[in-house]
Structure 1
Amino acid sequence: MSRVVEDLLRECAPRVLGALARRRGDFALAEDAVQEALLSAARHWPVDGLPDDPRAWLTRVAERRMTDLVRSEAARRRRELAVFREPPPGDVVDHDDTLVVLFLCGHPDLTPASAIALTLRAVGGLTTAEIARAFLVPEATMAQRISRAKQKLRGARFAPPGAEEWASRLRSVLHVLYLIFNEGYTSSAGGSLHRTELSGEAIRLARLLHARLPADGEVAGLLALMLLTDARRPARTRPDGSLVPLAEQDRARWDQALIVEGVGLITEAVERGAVGEYQVQASIAALHDDARRAEDTDWPQILGMYGLLERMTGNPVVSLNRAVAVAMVHGPAAGLALVDELEPRLPGHHRLDAVRAHLDEMAGDADAAVRHYRIAAARTTSTPEQRYLVDRAARLAR
């Protein structure tokens, strides 16, 4: 399937789904019908050419499939068939419900794993097989996860959240997009450091959300964070796929266009007033990207921002990142003391040992660094990270 067709399907999918769900009032059934329409388009468009109105084509096919699904069920329940009517032609395809679909997929009742899977399928246009491959699980497992998510949403009102639930629902949506991006930027398992189909999709959806909510500082902050982080991706791996840590990256390979866009977004967002956690994270990323050399990094300012972020979130991973900043400003002993305090909050987490090993190395304690690099390597499920940690230990053990 060509890139043009793939991008067009992803753009159309949530709008067609929103139109059908709004018209029929059944999100789960509409989602099944849209998926079959997408598969039909993927088969026919590359051969027959693009239709004059791709969205209308998808809507007609999905509506016919939805009718078939309802009629099949109605064959067993005639009473339901009697009340089902074919929708009249109208301007349903011209109404963009993408944001509503995105908010529905980020429903607070769903687990993060289910919300991610449903968002990628319903809004991202990925097939169940593609999502399963991305998360290294069998397709049947992912199909069950998506099915359970849709069952939880059965009967949910297909409409933008009311004013009283807007803030909590938006927070859930942003969190889902953040998790999708992180999994794509640093894969938690498998042989590849990046899964660009996930990080790219998260950026696309964040752009879509920002276009609809341009005045929301946290939406802008999340998009800026993604752009400023993804800008470093070209320098994160060597030709053999091995990991290159931030301090050793060739910064000339960073994507300057993304950096300029991300800095512009976060600067404008922060100037509006109240600052949220995504804006703080984006500001930290901007400081890293602004340094022409690793030694030019403004670690005192980064340390101050991590302190603010830690107070905002109480997240132990944020505290671990602050420990690194403390070490860069006040020395490795100060950072190691903070890492020791985090042990009960991050038991068995490979990053705790990886940071401890890095700070031991900074302190000149090669034996301790080797030991903790090896422990971290044994605990991570990411092959590139494991190779990096093992190589680091081997270099110090010589």
Structure 2
Amino acid sequence: MNSLALATEFEEELIRMRRYFHAHPEVSWEEWNTQKKIIEILEQEGIRTLTPYKTAVIAFVSGTKATDNGDKKKKILGIRADIDALPLQEKNSCSYISKNDGVMHACGHDAHTAILLATAILANRHKEEFSLDFHFVFQPAEEFIADSGAGYLKDLPAVKECDRMIGLHVFTAFAPGIASLPVGPVMASADTFSVEIRGKGTHAAHPEHGIDPISVGVSFCQALERVKARELSSVRPSVISVTAFEAPSNFNIIPESALLKGTCRASDPAQREEYPHILERLAEGIALETRAEIKVSYFPGPPVTINDEEAVLTGQKALKHVFPKDKIQTLPFITGGEDFAKYENPKAFLVLGVGKEEEALRSPQHSPYFQIEESVLKYGVAYFLEYANCYQAE
């Protein structure tokens, strides 16, 4: 079968589906209309579906191609897409702009959903070409770091029985049609933390009568900068970012408390394990120095996304049948997080460039101006189909 030709023939419908989901985004764990639409499209094609947990959908296609494997169990290939959007007001002016106020598909999950739907439809229409079974996993709540969807779906029987789990993520930072599928770490762990600082409020004219939590918070931020510069590896990507500093007060009042929020990212699971200890150590030292009370709370999110070698080697064979040679590259490690990492099956996660050809026109993920090069979407569909073709031949 010519996977790219099939995907190209289906391109108009693929883009239409993507634009529907872009115009009707829903945030994590509230993807009810998205779920309904996914089921509607699949059932029109006679594809069996299951709603195993909240807004999730799993669809099933069974290949009918005969094999000479005797009594060997049919392979089961899981393919996953995330379906949730972000709490963000879209500022684009396209005809399919978000109709839901304050919600936007600004990370490409609308594209992921459409690509997986197209793959399911084409696999079903050409099931005689496949000797394996497909489990198509439409996963909610990838963006909800503290309680994401993969943490629940990974333990479902229909997921656990998959011999492989594959997926992809579109990125506007990379040129259109670039494909990267390395062995090993590909995306970072994504944990969050808060630092509650309790000082002693006082009149701003007499700071000596209080304990200034703002000054304490600044010291904590400066200490983190030293850690990043002198303790974290200079060759393995890692990030500690303070993303919020809250200390509501007035012009003449030193407040009683302050709150820091942030995120820790790592490419190395061992480094990830060190982060909570680093934050606690800093808190203890600064509390002793400043007399403030400091409480650190650490919230584990998705672990490091690590591509398994055997699963990747199949994918790399598939890439050669779909992408031009110059488009297959090894891209830099991505410090964004991805809860695909929570799936315990042998897995391979493709990074797919969907940025505009002219770099100046590219908008980053999570931007209110986020847009993708839609002509690339068919390559995602073709890759999934070709992966199945290569996997069943092994």
TM-score by length of 2: 0.26
Bigger strand fraction:
2
Greater relative contact order (CA < 8 Å, ≥ 6 in sequence): 2
Bigger helix fraction:
1
